[in-house]
Chain A
Amino acid sequence: DQQVKQNSPSLSVQEGRISILNCDYTNSMFDYFLWYKKYPAEGPTFLISISSIKDKNEDGRFTVFLNKSAKHLSLHIVPSQPGDSAVYFCAASKTGANSKLTFGKGITLSVRP
């Protein structure tokens, strides 16, 4: 039962354009969402997060949007740079006991120079 879904396995965009990475979740109890970036041969690194009490969080070129009614979140990268090419994981958790992180399967972003 995949509670966090990243339905597109890959995305390719031109340098300087916007990258939009999508993520859907099924568990309405999730109240905290995160994005991680992973380069080959390295562990994931935390990128940005958002609490369910917000619908937008921005950090430099990265913005995460949350639509609770649609159980959907997205990561926008503007402008995209070749160094952004990596695998991006969406993750979710819920407050309280056993609030482990549940990850999606990841999406591979390629930014073309």
Chain B
Amino acid sequence: TQLLEQSPQFLSIQEGENLTVYCNSSSVFSSLQWYRQEPGEGPVLLVTVVTGGEVKKLKRLTFQFGDARKDSSLHITAAQPGDTGLYLCAGDRTGGFKTIFGAGTRLFVKA
């Protein structure tokens, strides 16, 4: 059982569409991170959210941390083929330093 559940597992959309991916847990996290990973490469950090209810924007990407710090979402506006990749959420629980990962959402954006 994954401590961090990501949904959906797979998403295939047309260029220009909007999408949201989710990261949920029953545990409280002191912070959550979102990473994007391309095949054969290590994950690349997109954002860290620390405060419950926090919203961060990175160009067309909007990240939100749940008020209770148990969940997070990533919204992409007007998706582009360059957004294709594996999106991973990760977090460290309060009082811990071991970062754990969800299984990821694999996004494919068709031109």
A and B pair up: no
Q: B residues bordering A, Cβ < 8 Å?
A: none
Q: A residues bordering B, Cβ < 8 Å?
A: none
